[in-house]
Structure 1
Amino acid sequence: MSDLFDEVDEDVRRDQLKQLWDKYSVFIVAGALLIIAGVGGWRGYEYLEAQRAAEAGAAFDKAAELSEQNKHAEAEAAFADLAAKAPWGYRVLARLRTAAEVASRDPQGAAKMFDDIAADRSVGAAEQDLARIRAAQLLLETTTYPNMLQRLESATAPASTFRHSARELLALSAWRGNDATAARQWLDLIADDGETPPSLRSRAEALQAMLPPVAKS
């Protein structure tokens, strides 16, 4: 008898499933197709992005080769094109390299381009600091120590990637401005930082030797 009830239950469940299928099959199939299309679309997007990145990488290398061959006008145009069209990572690098190429003919204009990158909040902190350093290098001979301090002080923090270069530039700027106290401050920070590169440490020691002796109290 239980077998008979089991067969009846099975028939009922089969009828219910058939009714559900008849009622919702269009939606089930459509949902499945949407999932398949979504996965396929994402895979296609990933492929296209990888292809774009590869093409941008090759174009970046060619632009760098032009720069190494002193074809700065051509390199500038190539990097500018990448800065406008390349995927985001290459776009930031290309902006930095475009400004570097401009520096060979227009240091002030290049400094402004680096300033624009440093002020762009969509750019990573390390790239912003690098842009600040490059702008300051171009302006070292023509701007004041207070201006350099305003530009670079945030990049001198212990965790900053380019803190060593920022401190050296500030020490040089203070020395040029006859501010021995400020110069000594930055040189002491360079000396006390265990991660200061040896070459930069040597330059700092040489500059330290050029400062007037500290007055005895």
Structure 2
Amino acid sequence: MTDIFHEIEEDLRRDRLRRVWDRYGIVFIALVVLVIAGAAGYSGYKWWALQQDQASGARFEAAAHLAAEGKATDAEAAYVALSKDGTAGYRMLARFRAAAEIATTDKAKGAAAFDAIAADSSLSSLTRDLARVRAGLLLVDTAPLAEIQSRLQALADSQSALRFSAREILALAQYKAGDLAAANKAAALLLEEPEVPPGVRNRAELIRALTAAAAQINPAVGAAATQ
């Protein structure tokens, strides 16, 4: 008797499953197909993206070889092309390298290329700050102190990771402009900062030493520089 009930239950269970399959089987099959297609598509995209990234890497390396060989114009053209159609990471690297190559023959144009990067609101703030620093560094030997200050003072006063580099360039600009007191003070303030990177600290010590040496040669300026 028990076996009969079991057989009836099995028949009912099979009948319910058959009705569920008849109603939703096509949906289940479609979902399985979509999952498989999605997995295949994702794998295909990853393969394609890797190929594109490797191709951009090869182009970047070729441009770097041109630069190393002293072919600045060819290197610049290669970097500019890569900055337009390379993969995301290489596009940004190429923009910086293109600006640097331009600067080897014309610092003002190189600075303008870095200014264009700094003005690109689609980029991260750190990337834009780095471009500002690079532009300021290119112009520190030739631009008036007021221009360097207008470019970098806001960055120097901010909490950006590159604020110390901006302060260093400002101190150097003050030194080159003959404002030894300001350069001495700016270098001293940098040396008081515990978070200043070692490279910046070393150069700040050099600026402090140079202003002190100049002060000994010119006592009138030295009195102001050491206040």
**TM-score strictly above 0.5:** yes
Q: Secondary structure at the match of 1:122?
A: coil
Cα 1:11–1:187, aligned 2, differ >3 Å: closer, same or farther? same
Structure 2 letter corresponding to 1:77 = A
Q: In the alignment, is residue 44 of structure 1 matched against residue 44 of structure 2?
A: yes
Preserved CA contact (<8 Å) 1:66 1:74:
yes
**Offset of residue 74 of structure 1:** 0.9
**Offset of residue 2 of structure 1:** 4.1
Preserved CA contact (<8 Å) 1:190 1:204:
no
The aligned counterpart of 2:144 is: 144
Q: How does 1:71-82 map to 2 (within 5 A)?
A: 71-82=71-82
The aligned counterpart of 1:196 is: 198
Q: Secondary structure at the match of 2:222?
A: coil
Q: How does 1:47-86 map to 2 (within 5 A)?
A: 47-86=47-86
TM-score (norm: length of structure 1): 0.87
The aligned counterpart of 2:5 is: 5
TM-score (norm: length of structure 2): 0.84
Distance 2:63 2:130 in 1: 20
Q: How does 1:72-111 map to 2 (within 5 A)?
A: 72-111=72-111
Cα 1:147–1:5, aligned 2, differ >3 Å: closer, same or farther? farther
- Flag structure 2 segments of 5+ consecutive residues without an equivalent: 216-220
Deviates more, 1:43-52 or 1:120-129: 120-129
The aligned counterpart of 2:17 is: 17
Q: Deviations over 1:163-214 (max 9, x none)?
A: 4432221012123334444323321232223433264244223333235334
Aligned counterpart for 1:206 among listed residues 199, 209, 221: 209
- Flag structure 1 segments of 5+ consecutive residues without an equivalent: none
Deviates more, 1:120-129 or 1:99-108: 120-129
Distance 1:159 1:106 in 2: 31
Deviates more, 1:145-154 or 1:167-176: 145-154
The aligned counterpart of 1:156 is: 156
Q: Deviations over 1:4-56 (max 9, x none)?
A: 33322221121111112122222211111111111111111111111211121
Deviates more, 1:140-149 or 1:45-54: 140-149
Preserved CA contact (<8 Å) 2:115 2:135:
yes
Preserved CA contact (<8 Å) 2:60 2:82:
yes
Preserved CA contact (<8 Å) 2:180 2:211:
no
- The alignment's C-alpha RMSD in Å is 2.4
Preserved CA contact (<8 Å) 1:63 1:78:
yes
Distance 2:155 2:209 in 1: 23
Preserved CA contact (<8 Å) 1:114 1:131:
yes
- What percent identity do the matched residue pairs reach? 38
Preserved CA contact (<8 Å) 1:148 1:173:
yes
